[in-house]
Amino acid sequence: MHKHHSALGLAESLRPVQPVTLLRPHAAARAARFFVEKFQGRSMYAVKANPSPELIQILWDNGITHFDVASIAEVRLVHGVAPQATLCFMHPVKAEEAIAEAYSVYGVRTFSLDSIEELEKIERATQGATDLTLCVRMRVSSEMSKLSLASKFGVELTDAKELLQRTRQVADALGICFHVGSQAMSPSAYVQAMEKVRAAIVSAAVTVDVIDVGGGFPSVYPGMEPPALEAYFGAIHQAFESLPVSYSSELWCEPGRALCAEYASLLVRVERRRGDELYINDGAYGALFDAAHIGWRFPVKLLREPESKAREIGFSFYGPTCDDMDHMAGPFHLPADVQPGDYIEIGMLGAYGCAMRTGFNGFTAGDRVIMDDEPMATLYVRDEEAREAVSSNVIKL
């Protein structure tokens, strides 16, 4: 990978034919330090959001020592990059063979579960180990989040008593975890979830050693400008302090999107224009899965010198494959004089965009280039002096 100072300079100098992934290591490092310094507990990175080895190394170098892994492949990946990292296998339904390998080969001692069957599976796979931290996942509401995670996993409050009591008998340390959904837009989501945790602890009358508030910490996108992350941290810590747990109990979180969204953006070329539809060289089967399938809007910028003076209008995008579903409705607001051959930067694709790329129809990722400018939007630059120091392409909140 080579380095460049700006997306505009890269577009003008290289005129790339394939999409280019623009990486900003300094943005990921800044996000990691923010969580390490300001969240009053343990922050562990949710690897599924972006499993890039380079990103894992950046987070490790900036204080993220624990990683939420969802598969044995992620266990192997993180161990290969950061052998001293603590791995927590937080998928509630795992293959017994994966549990056994994680425990015996890679030293994983933390597992999540949401059923008696999974608890028994963990017992068998670890041969009755007595050094386990077991986190019972509870089902909580996703009503305050843009993407729900409330239907697939989690034990209902009415069934939590027996599972917590059974797990307490097996676990060296008992945890309760939950997930409020992706892109939580209000700190109240965590407060409400922790009220359900309170009820479960009281009902089961068990000693709880870990409260894991999961992921859901937001990034910033057009039409989705959340409160400051400090507001989330404060609400979570206050709710944690009021729970009936021991003084030595630990508070954990599992940020994914919030740690990596600003890490990457995408440089694409317009291949055709049809009215307010732009055909670009990446799409639903590339880095724009969320834009296509859940209508996610990402910040966009026309890279042209001199800068266009045309008024902005809303465009939709078509990706490069032969599939009609390769369509991103947007609207993506760009100058009305966009034309074939123009380059567009699409921002905030470090979370899930990089992770979900395929090679369908033979369209694969192009080069990756390290940038030293600022991401197109940020939650980590808020004071006026810092805002003035960053480049003009940043969307300031």
Residues classed as catalytic: 322
Q: Where are the alpha helices (DSSP H) in the chain?
A: 7-14, 25-38, 53-61, 72-81, 96-106, 116-125, 157-170, 188-204, 229-241, 257-260, 289-293, 384-389
Cα 267 to Cα 22, 129, 348: the distances in Å are 7, 49, 12
Helices (H), 209-280: 229-241, 257-260
Element (H, E) at 246: none
- Among 15, 7, 13, smallest CA distance to 269 is for 15
Listed residue (357, 391, 301, 317) closest to 24, CA to CA: 391
Three-class secondary structure assignment of 289-344: HHHHHCCCCCCEEEECCCCCCCCEEEEEEECCCCCCCCEEEEEEEEECCCCCCCEE
Best CA proximity match to 211, nearest among 258, 166, 164:
164
**CA dist list (Å): 190 to 92, 142, 228, 381, 389:** 20, 10, 14, 24, 33
Alpha carbon distances (Å) from 236 to 109, 232, 242, 249, 258: 25, 6, 10, 14, 16
Q: How far apart are CA 202 and CA 205, in angstroms?
A: 5
CA distance 177 to 113: 9
From CA 164, how far away is CA 166, in angstroms rounded? 6
Tokens of 241: 């302090």
Question: For 349-397, what is the HEC assignment?
Answer: CCCCCCCCCCCHHHCCCCCEEEECCCCCECCCCCCHHHHHHCCCCCECC
Contact (CB, 8 A) for 136 and 119:
no
User: In this structure, are residues 210 and 132 in contact, taking their beta carbons and an 8 Å threshold?
Assistant: no
